[in-house]
Amino acid sequence: MKDPGQYDRFTRVNCQQKHDDKCIDVIFGWKKKEGEEVSEIQALRYDKKIWTEASARSHCKSRGGTFEPASTEDKASAIRGDLKMRWYEIKAKKEGPAEIWIYDEIGYWGIGAKEFIIELNAIDNPKIDMHINSPGGEVFDGAAIYNAIKRHPAEVTTYVDGIAASIASVVALAGKKVIMAENAIFMMHNPAGLVIGTADDMRKTADVLDKVRETMIGAYMTKSGKSDSEIKGLLDAETWMNADETKAAGFADEIGDEMDLAACAKFIPSMQKMGFRHIPRDLNAMKRMPSERDLERILRDAGCSSKEAKSILAKGYEAHLRDAGLPPDSPKAPEPPRDAQPPKPAKKDKVNDLLIRAERLAPSH
């Protein structure tokens, strides 16, 4: 790695090579420059399960880098947090809610639930805002984190900023209130694992996965009020939901503002390799339908007062058009003389135009 001390934090993006179909992790270092946070490629990480040392050295050299095998000391340093390469960040504040940011795969970088819970238990703020954008991760770490957050005396509000998938969807439900960004995604599926060994080893793993599944079902039932069979059906189907669907299912309490979907798009390639069957081709296609609040905002932007906008929506737009025309018993307007100037085109109905535009922007189902 370069000089890690010059960066404030690190993030990781999994990238697939175009020619040899191998994946590498690109480590970005973030620091403040002229008042703005900027990123630089700090290192490339080659997984020993995918790359041989010779191929990794060659690839690194072709990009002008210097290859250095990771040492035990480097790994220990990352675990201690000296390099700040974490999938989470916890900020305790003197005023206002403490903050938890889970913006990567849970349990990554060799940092598990133990380190997270130690930092969590050090928070003495009465409120915690937990932000999640995670594809999941280590299921046992996630389950331990869920339980630790539920036990914490603070009032926790969860904000799903991008994606809460797999075990991250369970962690999200640890909050007393769950707020989904209007274009966020919630995904739940049955736990999976990999084991190499005898038939007995595999049977033991299957038993463990069944127990984990029951823990997940309990968390989903507690939040949503759904039955055991309903939750099992959602897990079996590998269910992907947008914000409206998540709220309707009882897993979210409120829908917040729209977020940048690039924050969760980076996880899709790695999730595809993990074998998920129903990953949406276009994340934007899962965007929620415009709500009454959205349409009211459009009408107010068009110049309507709040009262007028609410009236139009309450009556329905067709009623609004009828109200704008002549009453049914009004006398027919006289025809203009033949030599008269043609009437000026009617002024464009701005309200109608904006509502039509909102309907076109809404995703089709």
CATH number at residue 257: 3.90.226.10
pLDDT of residue 24: 74
> What pLDDT score was predicted for residue 326?
41
Q: What is the pLDDT of residue 30?
A: 72
Which residues, listed in sequence order, are joined to residue 239 by a DSSP beta bridge? Answer: 188
Query: 211 and 185 in one domain?
Result: yes
Mean pLDDT of the chain: 75
Check whether 207 has a pLDDT greater than 70.
Answer: yes
- pLDDT greater at residue 268 or residue 242: 242
User: Does residue 333 lie within any of the structural domains?
Assistant: no
Among the three residues 72, 98, 117, which one is the final residue of a domain in this structure? 72
Q: Are residues 116 and 201 in the same domain?
A: yes
Max avg pLDDT among 69-78, 143-152, 356-365 = 143-152
pLDDT reported for residue 27: 72
Looking at the structure, tell me whether residues 226 and 125 fall in a common domain: yes
CA 362-364-365 angle, to 5 degrees, is 130
| Reported confidence tier of residue 218, pLDDT bands at 50, 70, 90 | very high
Residue 340 has pLDDT above 60, yes or no: no
Q: Rounded mean pLDDT of 280-293?
A: 57
Are 238 and 98 members of one domain?
yes
Give the domain extent around 166: 86-288
User: Are 256 and 118 part of one and the same domain?
Assistant: yes
Q: What pLDDT sits at residue 5?
A: 63
Report whether 165 contacts 135 (CB < 8 A): yes
- Both tokens assigned to 273: 């390799």
User: Tokens 């996965």 — which residue?
Assistant: 209
The average pLDDT across 7-29 equals 65
Query: Which residues have CB under 8 Å from 109's CB, separation 6+?
Result: 12, 78, 79, 85, 86, 87
Q: Which of 87-91, 232-236, 335-339, 361-365 has the lowest mean pLDDT?
A: 361-365
User: Is residue 254 in some structural domain?
Assistant: yes
Is 61:67 a contact under the CB 8 Å cutoff? yes
The mean pLDDT value for 44-57 works out to: 80
Kindly state whether residues 64 and 203 are assigned to the same domain: no
Task: Tell me: do 239 and 183 sit in the same domain.
Answer: yes
User: Which of 104-118, 207-221, 253-267, 309-323 reaches the highest mean pLDDT?
Assistant: 207-221
Catalytic residue among 59, 131, 189, 320: 189
CA 150 → CA 101, 120, 154, 252, 256, distances in Å?
Answer: 16, 11, 9, 16, 23
Query: How confident is the model over 79-135, as pLDDT tens digits?
Result: 344 444 568 888 888 888 999 999 888 887 557 888 899 999 999 999 999 999 888
Domain membership of residue 78 (yes or no) is: no
Q: Is residue 215 part of a domain?
A: yes
The answer to the question of residue 9 being in a domain is: yes
Same domain, 145 and 36: no
Tell me: do 205 and 312 sit in the same domain.
no
Q: pLDDT band at 168, cuts 50/70/90?
A: very high
> Within a domain: residue 259?
yes
Number of domains in the chain: 3
Distance CA 219, CA 231 (A): 10
- Helices assigned H by DSSP within the chain: 53-62, 72-80, 113-121, 139-151, 167-172, 199-224, 228-236, 243-249, 262-265, 268-273, 292-301, 306-315, 317-324, 350-361
Confidence of residue 251 (pLDDT cuts 50, 70, 90): very high
User: In the chain, what percentage of residues exceed pLDDT 70?
Assistant: 64
* 59, pLDDT greater than 70: yes
Tell me, what amino acid is at 19?
A: H
Residue 62's Cβ-side half-sphere holds a number of Cα atoms within 13 Å equal to 6
**Alpha-carbon distance 209 to 214, whole Å?**
9
Whether residue 253 is found in the same domain as residue 115? yes
**Does residue 355 form part of some domain?**
yes
Mean pLDDT of 285-309: 68
Q: Is residue 336 part of a domain?
A: no
Q: Measured between alpha carbons, how far is 192 from 212 in angstroms, rounded to an integer?
A: 10
Q: Is 189 a catalytic residue?
A: yes
Distances (CA, A) of 192 to 135, 236, 323: 14, 12, 59
Last residue of a domain, one of 27, 49, 72: 72
Q: Hunting for tokens 């203009």 — which residue is that?
A: 336
Are 126 and 211 members of one domain? yes
The predicted model gives 324-349 an average pLDDT of 51
pLDDT at 239 over 60: yes
Active-site residue, selected from the candidate residues 131, 134, 166, 169: 166
Residues 275 and 130 in one domain: yes
Residue at which a domain ends, from 72, 98, 128 = 72
Confidence of residue 330 (pLDDT cuts 50, 70, 90): very low
As a whole number, mean pLDDT of residues 12-28 equals: 63
Indicate if the pLDDT at residue 54 is higher than 50: yes
